[in-house]
Structure 1
Amino acid sequence: MFKRENYNQSSREYAHSCRGNFKRKFDRFFSEGSPFGNGNSANIPVNIAENDEFYQVQVYAAGREKDQFQVNITDNILTIKGKETEPEPGIKYIYQEQQLGAFERAFHLQDEIIIENVHASFEDGVLTVILQKDPSKIKYPREVPVS
């Protein structure tokens, strides 16, 4: 028989182990202890992609408007906050997976980011933050000849 309490417990354990693997995979982007947030962070999915020129952070926040977001960079920490969303009047949810509360996600950036060239846009429920890399600070792999 399905019991919500059992499902929630096992999903929390799984999410905890996934975050550890995720952090190790993106060590170049995150410092120790990041990402961090106010407890609702795990409910707001984030994808991070990288190419030679920039990092792309995508926050999936369907049902929100662009004026509900605040994106800041202070002391090499990218902070993305979302304000609480009000439910539609007259609707009483009997089951709800989408969190409408306020959230905060924060990521410690590497020094190779050009802070002055950070751009954010919101389209189709996805907030995208582009973090341009500084080519002068990128350490490219180098082959060492064997003698």
Structure 2
Amino acid sequence: MRVDFSPLYRSTVGFDRLFSLMDTLGAGETSQPTYPPYNIERTAENAYRITMAVAGFGESELAIEVKENALTVKGEKVAPEGAAEFLYRGIAARSFERRFQLADHVVVQGARLENGLLHIELVREIPETLKSRRIPIAKASQSTPIEASPASPTIEAAPTVAAA
């Protein structure tokens, strides 16, 4: 039996997939919230973009918050006074809350709402102390020899007398 872990990967950004053979989780996709739909794309080596389809939501109805490596996007749709009575409502206008688990050192650079799509820009900023660096190896002629320190005084042994 194969297990699909892709629902776990869908809400994580910046993590490497170490176990690519584990693709499915027993519960399947139906247990995961599907509204609003979103894409996660890698735009550069250490840059990502989450794009969410939030048609009908204005900037004032959306909130983005980051706390302890968790990105939360909330949408609160408030019905206006005297709203029309819909005979059929195919455009979803319900409130939502979507969470994404961010990897260490992934920060939100910004967000913009454009044509009903919310774009959230992320970048992985690896601290200098965690980056690998190359150490040059000096040639033997470039190294400085260890200077000899003055020898410590030696104690001479007293002459021995031969027994007669």
TM bucket by the smaller chain?
A: 0.5 to 0.7
CA distance in 2, matches of 1:87, 1:99: 15
What's the % identity of the aligned pairs? 23
Give the conservation status (yes or no) of the 8 Å contact 2:12–2:101: no
The aligned runs of 1:99-138 (5 Å cut-off) are 99-113=92-106, 115=107, 118-136=109-127
Q: TM-score, normalised on structure 1?
A: 0.61
| CA RMSD in angstroms, aligned pairs only | 3.3
Give the conservation status (yes or no) of the 8 Å contact 1:64–1:125: yes
CA distance in 2, matches of 1:89, 1:98: 19
Q: TM-score, normalised on structure 2?
A: 0.56
Task: For CA contacts below 8 A with separation 6 or more, give which structure has more relative contact order.
Answer: 1
Please name the residue that 2:67 is paired with: 74
Please name the residue that 2:58 is paired with: 65
Q: Note the C-alpha offset of 1:27.
A: 7.9
What letter corresponds to residue 131 of structure 1 in structure 2?
Answer: L
CA distance in 1, matches of 2:61, 2:83: 22
SS in 2 for 1:42: coil
Gaps of 5+ in 2: 16-30, 133-164
SS in 2 for 1:80: strand
Q: Note the C-alpha offset of 1:102.
A: 1.1
Structure 1 runs of 4+ off > 4 angstroms?
Answer: 24-28, 87-90, 135-139
Summarize the Cα distance change of 1:47–1:119 in structure 2 as closer, same or farther, 3 Å threshold: same
Please name the residue that 1:7 is paired with: none
Q: Over alpha carbons, which structure has the higher Rg?
A: 2
Task: Kindly tell me the number of residue pairs found equivalent between the two proteins.
Answer: 112
CA distance in 2, matches of 1:104, 1:47: 16
CA distance in 2, matches of 1:55, 1:80: 16
Please name the residue that 1:44 is paired with: 36
Deviations 1:79-128 (A, max 9, x none): 00011142694532222232212110001100131x3x520111111111
